[in-house]
Amino acid sequence: MARSYLLLASLISVACAVPNVSRDTFVHVRRDSAPAGFVHVGPASDSQVLTMRVGLTQSNTAGLIDALYSVSTPGSDKYGQHLSKAAVEAFTAPTDATTASVHAWLSSHNVTFAPATPAGDWLKLSVTVSQANRLLNTNFATFKNQATGKETVRTLSYSLPTSLEGKIAFVHPTTVFPIQPFGKNAAFKPNSAAKRAPDAAPQSCATQFTPACLQELYSINANSTGQASNVIAVSGFLGQYANEADLAAFLASFRPDIPSNTTFATKLLDGGVNPQDMSDAGQEANLDTQYAIGVAGTVPVQFISVGFNNDDDFGGNLDILEFLSGESPVPTVLTTSYGYDEDQLPFDLANSVCNAYAALGAQGTSILFASGDGGVAGGQGRPCTTFIPTFPSTCPFVTSVGGTRSLNPELAASLSSGGFSNFFPTPDYQASDVSAFLAGLGSTYAGLFNASGRAFPDVSAVAEDVEIVWEAQFGTIEGTSCSSPILAGLIGLLNDELISAGKPPLGFLNPFLYANQDIFTDITSGANRGCGTPGFSAGVGWDPITGVGSPVYASLRTAVGLT
């Protein structure tokens, strides 16, 4: 399927698509048509109020990225010396000239706006449709999702004054239609026995992975000391609520060694809630909290529940980034088991979000995302003629976690999404591994993927037969939604040990992961089918299904200098 977004850098005439284009504007983003499944209903009501975000061009994104690499690349003399929030904001804040022009533009349209980040690089606007139409020289329309009947106000194209060229990074929501991320409800399979006795024994690991199985499989030989500054943040979107009673039942069976009152803290954003009725428990939210805590023990975990008051349609990622942009210290780990197909997003928005992950990484957060569950066919597996990469996994500043299954040996899970970005080029930290993989692949799949793109995943962990508790029932679940919180727990535990030893947390992981890939368990068998192909195959070295492999905690301890 062809990419649905065309990004036009220069002034062109699109008189058919946008009837009212005056000479002194340029098209910032346009798409040819609404996505399949949406029908145009008619013009949007002039008085409807839209909440929008406008991203301003940062003063020095390149400087931020250099700083990120210098604190994250082993061997650099700044390794581990994470930046303060003020140092990051010196890069991310727009220039005074940019800020003045954008503010003047909004004020001239009587638009109400406020900074969404302390650096002022993102603004939050409240505008009526008629204001938005004049501001963006467009005609917002109502579109209906034919499957759900839900109506949404969007446009296919918008323009900005030429005086703002180079000053605006994104305007959202405009051309992005509401997208259902992957990762909402994995299929829970109840165990035949309704309850389980405390059972830490790994002999059942052939059929069900529990925290004890993961301790064995990944040589996890440490206990958390519960360092307060070391927080694992767990993203929760879309009405997925984490249940404390289910967590208590899970820990009673699988981590009887940690205090029975161990639980997560909750942060509510944008009307978020986290009700504790059993019927509100979410499979995804339970999985994510149970495995972050099940692996990390008493490391503090913060469940972030994003509500629906955001006009975001990007899951809640923007809300979480805005929240964390104001936090100091930042969490040491952020794990998110939701994602999108890269072609569902315009480059400008994806790029700004990716740079926001760089800003968190520079301050010492390890950003983990599940790679997706549709093999080479995107996050949920869709019909395709070319491979579909997933975002945020394709952002070079996040760690994408793919999926494995089974034991002795651990194999690649066929559901594990992996591949190559069409947006972001191959970063240096993976360049030699990716070219070795491509050399082995030869001309297989030529034309189905972008060989010059950022390749993912980076690393992997168990994604099938993972035991959780949901609505007081024990059962198994699958998906890379399992892999990301498992790795988050493991990195959180390592950070706990580092902080206890007076060392900084790991922060942005990828340069370290690729430089130390010989200490990972290389997964060499399995393939991630999709688009009518067998998909990429796991093999010796990095591959786009399991990355550098699965972690070996005891070796990671040594590699980070713990004794």
Ligand X SMILES: *[C@@H]1O[C@H](CO)[C@@H](O)[C@H](O)[C@H]1NC(C)=O
CB of 117 to ligand X, least distance (A): 26
Helix (H) or strand (E) holding 483: helix 480-500
State how far the alpha carbon of 419 is from the alpha carbons of 123, 259, 394, 414, 449, in Å.
Answer: 33, 41, 9, 13, 7
Per DSSP, the three-state class of 411 is: strand
Q: What angle do CA 256, 303, 54 make, to 5 degrees?
A: 160
Structure tokens belonging to residue 439: 């050399």
CB of 108 to ligand X, least distance (A): 6
Structure tokens belonging to residue 400: 């994408």
Nearer to ligand X, 222 or 318 (CB): 222
What would the DSSP string read from start to end of 12-81?
Answer: ---TTT-S---TTEEEEEEESSPPTTEEEEEEPPTT-EEEEEEEEPPS-HHHHHHHHHHHHSTT-TTTT-
Decide: 550 and 485 in contact? Cβ < 8 Å.
no
Q: Which of 246, 288, 341, 458 is catalytic?
A: 288
Which residues in this chain contact ligand X in the complex, by CB under 6 A?
Answer: 20, 109-110, 134, 221-223, 257, 259, 261, 263, 421-425, 450, 452-453
User: Nearest CA to 473 among 296, 281, 297?
Assistant: 281
CB of 453 to ligand X, least distance (A): 4
Preceding amide of 173 cis, omega within 30: yes
Nearer to ligand X, 22 or 443 (CB): 22
Provide the CA 562 distance to its chain's centre, in angstroms: 29
Nearer to ligand X, 80 or 427 (CB): 427
Gyration radius of the chain's alpha carbons: 23
| Sequence letter at residue 287 | L
Dihedral angle sign, alpha carbons of residues 189, 192, 196, 197? negative
| Sequence letter at residue 25 | T
Q: Which of 157, 235, 481, 537 is catalytic?
A: 481
β-sheet with 473-477: strand ranges across: 189-190, 473-477, 466-470
CB of 260 to ligand X, least distance (A): 8
CB of 452 to ligand X, least distance (A): 5
Nearer to ligand X, 221 or 279 (CB): 221
CB of 76 to ligand X, least distance (A): 25
Whether 288 is catalytic is yes
CB of 187 to ligand X, least distance (A): 32
Whether 284 is catalytic is yes
Residue with tokens 């926001």: 356
Q: Which of 284, 322, 478, 522 is catalytic?
A: 284
Nearer to ligand X, 453 or 539 (CB): 453
Nearer to ligand X, 338 or 423 (CB): 423
State how far the alpha carbon of 277 is from the alpha carbons of 241, 266, 273, 435, in Å.
Answer: 10, 15, 12, 51
Active-site residue list: 284, 288, 481
